[in-house]
């Protein structure tokens, strides 16, 4: 993980840096926001930013957004200042760490805020076969296409391949092609020169240059617009890129791993995906089976997630009852490993004992309704409404589901308790009725 520290962190920057180093992170430091932005634009990159509470966090967050640099910001300050912490979160920080830094807390925040490179847990013979093949092709320079249903672990696999490759000490950079609007994806991939378009306030290095010498993960490649596919083809074929608004081609040395949960060959037939690009990317195809087709992975994965969420939430380890084990292995897992992970996470929070029962796993109707597709539900309940309306209902609904326990609710929602508290205050200020137990504590 790459950590960028901005400012003195109230005098604790060196200690924080040392802790980060012992957690295996690479650390860079900047004294001002301008300097930090300069470093981020230049392609050095960061997976998490720690910033001194006394600096202008709102300004940093605003400028990161303007330049579409996506990195979680964590504010660091002195503990006796709860109001400042709230302000930092309101300004857009994801978390607040009080100084002097506590090594355990720093580790927990790192793993919660930044997506950690996870290990590839497996036990099923199908996966052993697949990994035998992966271990063979990983050290080669061949581009790889990783396919499989959503949640099967395509990103985990891509990271595994990179770490087993000769490029493992070079950067592993990923870009989700579906998450970024088409008009911005080009500059995200190839970078841009200052003034290339409105809003291009400075030169910005793209993912290709950032990943130079290493591996570039193009996640959900099927969603890339054909016009950009042509540019990507040139980059892959000729190993040169053009920054948007730039005049000199730039040499790059990149291995590409692409993922898709759609059948790309089908997309080729439908003229949605270029055939020549398909063959360039699909030198090797690694197909991840659905979780239901590798049942022997289910128990080891469950054990792995129990440990993960016990550590993360500082909870005791819990054991699955016999019935719970039976239910887990016979369940259909349409959302694959991601669904299993979420199910275990929730069960860890709901369980009152040191065991996880069937009800902790499947007690909620949204999980039990295995047969019904969620699609019509989404359309009936969500489309035509604003994000903030839906967010409000989700927050209040989750909170009442958790009987007003904010820690649990925030965990299930995937937001910090501070963010939750601020949202609730906002709602109650707007005169919305919030279950009274939810405002305490
Ligand atoms: N074999 C595995 N071992 C451990 N965790 C896994 C494994 N496969 C998937 N996961 C976890 O499941 C979630 C979904 O995985 P991801 O790679 O994002 O799936 P996909 O990209 O196929 O949708 C992630 O949180 C990931 O860490
Ligand atoms: Mg994915």
Ligand 1 atom closest to residue 337's alpha carbon, by position in its atom list: 12
- Tokens at 272, concatenated: 């949605």
What CATH code would you report for 375-439?
A: 1.10.10.60
Between the CA of 219 and the centroid of ligand 1 the distance, in Å, is 13
Q: What whole-number distance in Å separates Cα of residue 171 and Cα of residue 155?
A: 15
Q: Could you tell me the pTM of the whole model?
A: 0.70
Between the CA of 227 and the centroid of ligand 2 the distance, in Å, is 23
Residue burial 396-416, b: 16+ Cβ < 10 Å; e: rest: bebbeebebbbebbbbbbebb
Q: 10 Å Cβ neighbour count for 355?
A: 12
Q: Among all ligands shown, which has an atom nearest to the Cα of 223?
A: 2
Question: What pairs with residue 52 in β-bridges?
Answer: 76
Ligand 1 atom closest to residue 158's alpha carbon, by position in its atom list: 17
- Tokens at 171, concatenated: 């950067």
CA distance between the termini of the chain? 34
Question: Which residues are placed with Cβ below 5 angstroms of ligand 2, an ion?
Answer: 155
Residue spans in the chain of domains classed CATH 3.40.50.300: 125-287
Q: Could you tell me which residues come within 8 angstroms of residue 120 by beta carbon, excluding any fewer than 6 positions away? A: 131, 153, 156, 157, 160
Q: What whole-number distance in Å separates Cα of residue 55 and Cα of residue 5?
A: 12
Q: What whole-number distance in Å separates Cα of residue 91 and Cα of residue 252?
A: 37
The CATH fold of domain 292-368: Helicase, Ruva Protein; domain 3 (1.10.8)
- Tokens at 33, concatenated: 């926001």
Residue spans in the chain of domains classed CATH 1.10.8.60: 292-368
The architecture (CATH level 2) of 125-287 comes to 3-Layer(aba) Sandwich (3.40)
- Phi (first) and psi of residue 351, to 5 degrees: -65, 135
Between the CA of 409 and the centroid of ligand 2 the distance, in Å, is 25
pLDDT (tens digit, 0 to 9) for every residue of the chain, 441 residues total? 889 999 998 888 888 899 888 887 889 999 999 999 999 988 788 889 999 998 999 999 999 988 878 788 999 988 666 778 888 888 988 888 888 888 888 877 776 665 545 589 999 999 999 999 999 999 999 999 999 999 999 999 999 999 899 998 889 999 999 888 888 899 999 999 998 888 888 888 999 999 999 999 999 999 999 999 999 999 999 999 999 999 999 999 999 999 999 899 999 999 999 999 999 999 999 999 999 999 999 999 999 999 888 877 778 899 999 999 999 999 999 999 999 999 999 899 888 888 999 989 987 544 444 444 445 555 556 766 788 888 888 888 888 777 677 777 887 888 887 888 889 888 888 877 776 453 433
- Ligand 1: residue whose CA is nearest its atom 15: 153
Residue spans in the chain of domains classed CATH 3.40.50.2300: 2-113
Residue spans in the chain of domains classed CATH 1.10.10.60: 375-439
What ranges make up the beta strands (E) of 55-162? 73-78, 95-99, 144-147
- Tokens at 386, concatenated: 């604003």
The architecture (CATH level 2) of 2-113 comes to 3-Layer(aba) Sandwich (3.40)
Site residues for ligand 1, CB cut-off 6 Å: 118, 120-122, 148, 150-156, 301, 304, 337-338, 341
């Amino acid at each position: 993980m790459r950590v960028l520290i901005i400012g003195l962190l109230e005098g604790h920057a060196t200690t924080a840096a040392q802790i980060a180093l012992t957690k295996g992170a690479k650390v860079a430091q900047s004294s001002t926001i301008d300097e930090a932005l300069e470093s981020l634009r230049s392609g050095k990159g960061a997976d998490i930013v720690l910033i001194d509470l006394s600096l202008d966090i709102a300004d940093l967050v605003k400028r990161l957004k303007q330049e579409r640099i996506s990195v979680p910001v964590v504010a660091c300050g002195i503990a006796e200042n709860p109001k400042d912490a709230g302000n930092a979160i309101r300004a857009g920080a994801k978390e607040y760490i009080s100084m002097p830094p506590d090594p355990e807390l720093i580790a927990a925040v790192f793993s919660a805020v930044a997506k950690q490179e996870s290990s590839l847990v497996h036990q099923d013979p199908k996966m052993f076969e697949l990994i035998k093949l992966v271990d063979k092709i990983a050290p080669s320079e061949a581009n790889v296409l990783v396919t499989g249903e959503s949640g099967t672990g395509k990103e985990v696999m891509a990271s595994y391949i990179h770490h087993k490759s000769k490029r493992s000490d070079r950067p592993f950079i990923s870009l989700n092609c579906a998450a970024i609007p088409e008009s911005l994806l080009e500059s995200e991939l190839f970078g841009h020169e200052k003034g290339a378009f409105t809003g291009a306030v400075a030169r910005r290095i793209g993912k290709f240059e950032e990943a130079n010498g290493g591996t570039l993960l193009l996640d959900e490649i099927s969603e890339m617009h054909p016009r950009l596919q042509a540019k990507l083809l040139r980059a892959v074929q000729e190993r040169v890129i053009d920054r948007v608004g730039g005049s000199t081609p730039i040499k790059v040395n990149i291995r590409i791993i692409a993922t898709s949960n759609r059948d790309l060959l089908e997309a080729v037939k439908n003229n949605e995906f270029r055939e020549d690009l398909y063959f360039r990317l699909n030198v090797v195809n690694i197909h991840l089976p659905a979780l239901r087709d590798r049942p022997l992975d289910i128990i080891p994965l469950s054990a792995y997630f129990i440990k993960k969420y016990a550590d993360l939430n500082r909870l005791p380890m819990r054991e699955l009852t016999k019935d719970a084990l039976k239910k887990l292995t016979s369940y259909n897992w349409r959302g694959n490993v991601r669904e299993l992970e979420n199910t275990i996470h929730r069960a860890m929070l709901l369980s009152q004992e040191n065991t996880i029962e069937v009800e902790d796993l499947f007690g909620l109707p949204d999980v039990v309704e295995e047969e019904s597709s969620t699609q019509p539900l989404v359309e009936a309940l969500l489309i035509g409404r604003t994000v903030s309306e839906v967010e409000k209902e989700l927050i209040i609904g989750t909170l009442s589901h958790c009987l007003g326990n904010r820690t649990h609710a925030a965990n299930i929602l995937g937001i910090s308790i501070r963010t939750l508290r601020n949202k609730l205050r906002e709602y109650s200020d707007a005169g919305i009725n919030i279950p009274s137990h939810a405002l305490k504590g």
